[in-house]
């Protein structure tokens, strides 16, 4: 059975597609047979970030509609073995996707021997985002260190708890992970941005990792390569850590803030502390 991971956020432009590309590529580097699915019908971004936009013939909608087989639509990455992309359509209507159709695709990917299915969600909390999360086993909630993004992530966490197949069937709830992206420790320290601590305080879920604000992300996406493939860069290295943590390696968090020594002892202290009392 493939493990289905949704990368979601509520708010737009926070780094879902960047993350989906790097998580999928990183999983494949780790030896897992992985496919990244672009659920952002009408916008189509994932293929650009992954550098396969010229090889798109069929897409998720054509498979759901039965116009192409899954094998025809899947694009095999040229750099990383085990990595596949199921692109979105730029021309089709968002309404073309339905729950049953997506369910069939996810199931078939499982029978094809995929270990991980990474679903790149569109922004928002409406139908498109709900379709992308419906079959997920785990969710990576991408958050930027600003109030509106954190609030949206909170809403998305509510939907993950209520509107997914696992929730509706009363199965074990989706496992949720927090990924803080575009983080700048210095700006958090000066109070210009929320700190990781502030974000965890509100969302109360496990921290999967912190990706620093980095020029490397822009460079990589302009070249059509997931930044994780440039693991010597700060953001690339951070994404590789995230992938390794996801598959079970215990790695310390980086890019939090050098002088912020007491972070863990504070966050994991047993007594609830007040944001206003101290």
Partner 1 sequence: MGPMQAYEPDPTSETPALQLGGMVSTFTVVKIERADPAAVGVALQEMLARTPDLFEDAPVALDLSGIDGPTDRSVGEGDGLRVAARPSGVSLGDLVRALRAGGLLPVAVCDPSNRRRAEARALGLASLRGGGRRAHRGSETGEPATEDLSPVSAAGKALTLRHPVRGGQVVYAEGTDAVVLGPVNPGGEVIADGHIHIYGPLRGRALAGAHGDLEARVFCQRLEAELVSIAGVYLQAEQLPAPYRGQPAQVFLDGETLVVGDL
Residue 143 · residue 179 · CB < 8 Å: yes
Residue 230 binds to ligand ATP (criterion: CB under 6 A): no
d(CA 139, CA 201): 19
Residue 177 binds to ligand ATP (criterion: CB under 6 A): no
Residue 123 binds to ligand ATP (criterion: CB under 6 A): yes
Give me Rg for the CA atoms of the chain.
18
Which residue number, 217 or 256, has a Cβ lying nearer to Mg ion? 217
Helix, coil or strand: residue 174: coil
| 104-131 burial code (b ≥16 CB/10 A, e <16) | ebbeebeeeebbbbbbbbbbbbeebbbb
d(CA 124, CA 163): 14
Range 57-96, binding ligand ATP (CB under 6 A): none
Residue 268 binds to partner 1 (criterion: CB under 8 A): no
> How many other C-beta atoms lie within 10 A of the C-beta of residue 237?
20
Range 126-165, binding partner 1 (CB under 8 A): 151, 154-155, 157-159, 161-162
Among 12, 31, 204, 262, binds partner 1 (CB under 8 A): 204
Contact residues for partner 1, defined by CB under 8 A: 125, 151, 154-155, 157-159, 161-162, 202, 204, 272, 274-277
Contact residues for ligand ATP, defined by CB under 6 A: 9, 12-18, 40, 45, 123, 181-182, 211, 213-214, 217-218, 221, 235
């Amino acid at each position: 059975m493939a493990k289905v991971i949704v990368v979601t956020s509520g708010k737009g432009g926070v780094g879902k597609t960047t993350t989906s590309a790097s998580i999928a590529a990183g999983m494949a580097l780790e030896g897992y047979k992985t496919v990244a699915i672009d659920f952002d019908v009408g916008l189509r971004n994932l293929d650009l970030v992954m550098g396969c936009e010229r090889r798109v013939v069929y897409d998720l909608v054509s498979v759901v509609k039965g116009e192409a087989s899954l094998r025809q639509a899947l694009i095999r990455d040229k750099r990383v073995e085990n990595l596949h992309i199921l692109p979105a359509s730029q021309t089709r209507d968002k309404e073309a996707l339905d729950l049953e159709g997506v369910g069939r695709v996810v199931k078939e990917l499982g029978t094809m021997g995929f270990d991980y299915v990474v679903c790149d969600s569109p922004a928002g909390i409406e139908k498109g985002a709900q379709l992308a999360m419906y079959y997920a086993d785990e969710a990576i909630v991408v958050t930027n260190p600003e109030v509106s993004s954190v609030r949206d992530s909170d809403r998305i966490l509510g939907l993950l708890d209520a509107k997914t197949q696992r929730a509706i069937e009363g199965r074990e709830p989706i496992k949720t992970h927090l990924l803080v992206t575009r983080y700048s420790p210095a700006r958090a320290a000066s109070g210009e941005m929320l700190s990781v601590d502030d974000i965890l305080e509100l969302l109360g879920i496990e921290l999967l990792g912190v990706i620093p604000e980095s020029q490397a992300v822009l460079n990589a996406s302009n070249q059509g390569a997931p930044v994780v493939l440039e693991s010597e860069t700060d953001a690339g290295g951070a994404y590789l850590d995230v992938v390794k943590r996801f598959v079970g390696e215990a790695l310390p968090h980086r890019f939090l803030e050098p002088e912020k020594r007491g972070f863990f002892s504070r966050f994991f202290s047993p007594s609830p502390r007040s944001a206003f009392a101290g």
